[in-house]
Amino acid sequence: MNRFNVKCPECTYPLAAEHYNTPVGHQVCGNCLSKVVVHALPALYRKKQSGASAQEAGLDDAGCYFHESKKAAHVCDSCGRFLCELCALPMGEETLCTSCLEHHRSESSSRHDFIPRQFRYDRLALGLAIIPLVYFPLTLFTAPAVLFIVLRYRKKELFMAQHVKGRMVTAFILGLLEVLGWLVAFIALIGWFINE
């Protein structure tokens, strides 16, 4: 059995390589009898160049920014630093250094290509504007929060987010109406007390 064989996702039994990439049909897992279709790619058995073999820099060689004694083999596409095999991080078509990757993964980065997660303030604002309507007294606390979130984060750029403005505007209008509703109720209550 080849050690690169794709395992059945249900039972981790190795699937026969002869049936990979067949145009039609499927193979049956020898263990769980599931019908499986496998599309395999060369990355399955080809080794990626590992950074463990960074060469020592000669007198005429440029050295790595992070390891002076190592020969520079790449240039960071973001900051332009020379990098040895050990420090170069291939990210798709780009090569980055560790510090640039760390910077791009933070939310403060202007690039959004590498962020691992994101908080959606537009959804939070809309949720806080709509969900408490089920039990109206809660809006006394949530409506000001909605207005705060919308005003505070209205200009925040969100990655892969659609209809942000629409959500923000809807949340703002609802929040404003809820606040106005409470104001009217308080004024009416105060007026009622004065009249009494």
Partner 1 sequence: MNEPSEYRKMNRGSRARLSLQRIWIGRDHLLLIRASGWNEVYRRFYFEDIQSFTMIWSRGYVIWGILLPLLALILFAMVWSWGARIAAGITGGVFLMLWMVHLLKGRTCKCWLQTGINNERLHMLKRVSHARKFWEQVEPLLIAAQGDFSLEEMDAVGMFPDRKMRPVPPAVPRVDDPNAGAEGASDETAVVN
User: Among residues 80 and 90, whose Cβ is nearest to partner 1?
Assistant: 90
Nearest distance, CB of residue 91 and partner 1, angstroms: 7
Nearest distance, CB of residue 138 and partner 1, angstroms: 17
What tokens were used for 129?
A: 């504007």
What tokens were used for 96?
A: 């980055």
User: Among residues 6 and 66, whose Cβ is nearest to partner 1?
Assistant: 6
User: Among residues 66 and 114, whose Cβ is nearest to partner 1?
Assistant: 114
H/E run at residue 191: helix 164-195
98 neighbors 89 (Cβ within 8 angstroms) = yes
136 DSSP assignment: G
Neighbours of 129 (CB within 10 A): 27
68 neighbors 57 (Cβ within 8 angstroms) = yes
Nearest distance, CB of residue 131 and partner 1, angstroms: 11
User: Among residues 33 and 185, whose Cβ is nearest to partner 1?
Assistant: 33
Nearest distance, CB of residue 62 and partner 1, angstroms: 26
Rg (C-alpha) for the chain, rounded Å, is: 29
Query: Which residues of the chain form contacts with partner 1 (CB under 8 A)?
Result: 2-6, 8-10, 17-18, 20-21, 26, 34-46, 48, 91-93, 112, 114-121, 123-124, 127, 157-162, 164
